[in-house]
Amino acid sequence: MTVLPTTSTACAGLFPNTLTLVTENFDELLAQFGLTVCADIGLRTVDVVNNSSTVWIVDQPAGLTEVSATLPIPTDVGLFREIRGGTAGVAVEPGQHAVIGATPGELHLRLDKSSTFGWQAIALFKGSVGESRQAKVVDAFARIGAQGSPTRNALVTCGRAVYEAANFVSDDPAAKAQKEPAQFLRESLGLSGKWGKCSNALNGVESGAPELKVGTLAEYSTREPWTQPTNRLGKAAIRAMTMIAKG
């Protein structure tokens, strides 16, 4: 996705210029609602504001890396950034923004399979925690995702298992993962009967976090509030990256 100057007035303050998002395929178009890119008066610095439902990667200008957070960030964002590690580009998660030193013509954003699947794995954990804690999801998830806790380590292990597995998802539209990203995620997390890194890690912490029991997560992973956005966003990311590859 590229950006161009526009006359819209959606942006204000230090970044008063609203930029037009030029999607490169239909799947980006469907996923970009809620994404805004603003620029300063001189059009030399941009602010990517993500109020969409998925993670966007700023992959140009080349050489961009994650900027250390100077303000507290939500637990799910912190987990995602730890899972993603030093992967190239800057990830802008839902509800977050990133200030990039670039002109509109230099900036490029894209969907990413691994990031999309990794974020939806965290959404699964968060949703299960919220349900079992009677919707007190922020406090409960903050406790489970606390730095250095065994439960956080387990979540990171699970997220990385998904992140790595997503690299091998076929771009063939007829492939199983293309039809059902939610099922691919269930299998990557060991929630479909075949245990692996994630399910073993969860099994080790379930006594202190019953909402992370494999059976509890497996049941929640079949529900529409999670499966519908996971399938929609997963398919969009796979197709968008297929278009990039075919170029």
Interacting residues of 53 by C-beta distance below 8 A, sequence separation 6+: 31, 34, 94, 229, 233
Q: For residue 94, is the peptide bond before it cis, meaning its omega torsion is within 30 degrees of 0? A: no
DSSP letters along 174-203, please?
A: TSHHHH-HHHHHHHHTT-SS---HHHHHHH
Please report, as a single letter, which amino acid is at residue 87: T
Please report, as a single letter, which amino acid is at residue 29: L
pLDDT band at 69 (very low <50, low <70, confident <90, very high): low
Contact criterion met (CB below 8 Å) for 233 and 124 = no
Please tell me what DSSP assigns to residue 40.
Answer: -
Q: Give just the sign of the alpha carbon dihedral 191, 197, 199, 202.
A: negative
pLDDT band at 155 (very low <50, low <70, confident <90, very high): very high
Contact criterion met (CB below 8 Å) for 94 and 52 = yes
Contact criterion met (CB below 8 Å) for 190 and 198 = yes
User: What value does the mean pLDDT of the chain take?
Assistant: 85
C-alpha to C-alpha distance for 13 and 39, rounded to whole angstroms: 10
Q: What is the pTM of this model?
A: 0.89
pLDDT band at 154 (very low <50, low <70, confident <90, very high): very high
Angle ∠(33,36,37) on CA atoms, nearest 5: 145
Strand partners, 17: 39
Looking at the predicted structure, is the pLDDT value of residue 71 above 70? no
Least trusted range by pLDDT, from 81-85, 119-123, 243-247: 243-247
